[in-house]
Amino acid sequence: MATLFTTCSSLLLVSFIIVFCVPSTVNSTEFQVGGDDGWVVPTSKNDDQIYNQWASQNRFKVDDTLRFKYSKDSVMVVSEEEYDSCRSSKPLFFFNNGDTVFKLDHPGLFYFISGVSGHCDRGQKMIVKVLAIHDNPQPQPQPKLHSESPAPAPAPAPSLSHHHSQAARSIPLFTITNFPLLFLILPFAMFFV
């Protein structure tokens, strides 16, 4: 009886350590769109590609999230055609709460524009390319940029590039699959205590 108690106690202790002391991590990142400035209308015509420049400097994976912080504005997820025209009467998603978190739930391109008239035309729009799981981690090509007249080569995005380390952070979490193990272990723990 004592060996059974010792064996069960040891198994219980090892299980407890595995479940609670060796956390699993969810490999996702939250990106703050626009860094500390947030989702705002670019201040000059030279900044009309600032969000696409920022997006091209980051690597987005399925399950990453984008956080849009804004005031008196909105964020719309639209089709490529609506992105090109800066107009959407039926966006895929519409947010206007001032602090929007959008989950990138599949690989491919996502098109974002401001829903406030004139903001998209002034550069408040962005294309995000989400990598598929099997994609090789190679430098992300510059997204297809649209403008009405040829523009000079874009300068680096000075106001957002230094925000990269603050704009993206990994979010460690226990996996949900570990949580039910607690209910399997708990009755045994109460039995032996």
pLDDT tens by residue, 71-99 = 999 999 999 999 999 999 999 999 999 99
Query: What pLDDT is recorded for position 169?
Result: 47
Please check the confidence at residue 133 and state whether its pLDDT lies above 60. yes
Please check the confidence at residue 116 and state whether its pLDDT lies above 80. yes
**Euclidean distance between CA atoms 45 and 129, whole angstroms:** 24
CB 77 within 8 A of CB 112: yes
**Euclidean distance between CA atoms 68 and 189, whole angstroms:** 45
CB 48 within 8 A of CB 147: yes
Query: What pLDDT is recorded for position 132?
Result: 85
Please check the confidence at residue 58 and state whether its pLDDT lies above 90. yes
Mean pLDDT of the chain: 74
pLDDT tens readout for residues 135-172 = 555 555 555 544 444 444 444 333 333 333 334 444 44
Q: Name the most confidently modeled range: 48-52, 93-97, 130-134.
A: 93-97
Query: What pLDDT is recorded for position 173?
Result: 42
User: pTM, whole model, 2 decimals?
Assistant: 0.60
Query: What pLDDT is recorded for position 157?
Result: 39
